[in-house]
């Protein structure tokens, strides 16, 4: 299947596969606070389940390993988001990852996610060479090596899906 890109693979399956790749690679620096911090001020508690971002069991893609930690999953989601668009800044990611604030009896409103979490994720992806700063437009964009890695993971994810369909 030549020419498979991230756009050809389902988002949730790709994110889990890329998060597992980042965890296996071991180069992504994870902040110590990532397990205790809330992801938005609309949330009452920090995420409790390990697979908080995508609630699908994809053990066939990552074998018998534990599901990747939340920071890896958010990093994979951010990398995919930047891949699908030309440039993305922290403000845009805050809107995307934000949610509805429960204000009791008053009407609910949308609130943005934590800027620190998204900023640290982008900085970590920048350190391993997946993203780079865009000086002209601002924000960050995907690097050539990052695009190559993401396309390679998309290729293996698509092949795993095809093998699963053939087994059925």
pLDDT of the chain, 168 residues: tens digit per residue:
568 899 999 998 999 999 989 888 888 877 777 666 777 767 766 666 554 433 333 434 444 344 457 788 889 999 999 999 989 999 999 999 888 888 889 999 998 988 888 898 999 999 999 999 999 988 999 999 999 999 999 999 998 888 877 776
pTM for this prediction:
0.81
Q: By CB neighbour count within 10 A (0-12 exposed, 13-18 middle, 19+ buried), where does 20 fall?
A: buried
The structural domain count of the chain equals 1
Q: How far does the chain reach from its first CA to its final CA, in angstroms?
A: 20
Distance CA 70, CA 51 (A): 7
State the pLDDT at residue 59: 39
State the pLDDT at residue 60: 40
Q: Does residue 1 form part of some domain?
A: no
Specify the CATH number for the domain of residue 24: 1.10.10.10
State the pLDDT at residue 156: 92
State the pLDDT at residue 105: 94
Distance CA 125, CA 29 (A): 9
Q: Check: CB of residue 61 under 8 Å from CB of residue 160.
A: yes
Which residues partner with 109 through β-bridges? 101
Distance CA 45, CA 43 (A): 6
Could you give the angle at the alpha carbon of 29 between the alpha carbons of 20 and 4, nearest 5°?
A: 40
State the pLDDT at residue 63: 41
Boundaries of domain holding 145: 6-167
Q: Check: CB of residue 11 under 8 Å from CB of residue 80.
A: yes
Q: Does residue 73 form part of some domain?
A: yes
Q: Does residue 82 form part of some domain?
A: yes
Q: Check: CB of residue 35 under 8 Å from CB of residue 46.
A: yes
């Amino acid at each position: 299947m030549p020419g498979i890109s991230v756009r050809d693979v389902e988002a949730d399956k790709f994110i889990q596969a890329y998060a597992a790749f980042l965890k296996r690679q071991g180069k992504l620096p994870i902040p110590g606070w990532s397990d205790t911090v809330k992801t938005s001020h609309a949330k009452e508690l920090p995420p409790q389940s390990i697979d908080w971002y995508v609630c699908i069991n994809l053990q066939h893609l990552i074998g018998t390993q534990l599901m990747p930690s939340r920071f890896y999953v958010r990093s994979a989601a951010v990398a995919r988001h930047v891949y699908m668009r030309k440039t993305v800044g922290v403000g845009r990611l805050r809107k995307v990852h934000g949610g509805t604030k429960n204000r009791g009896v008053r009407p609910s409103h949308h609130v943005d996610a934590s800027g620190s979490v998204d900023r640290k994720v982008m900085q970590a992806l920048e350190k391993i060479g997946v993203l780079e700063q865009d000086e002209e437009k601002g924000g960050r964009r995907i690097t050539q090596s990052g695009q190559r890695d993401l396309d390679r993971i998309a290729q293996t994810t698509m092949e795993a899906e095809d093998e699963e369909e053939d087994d059925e």
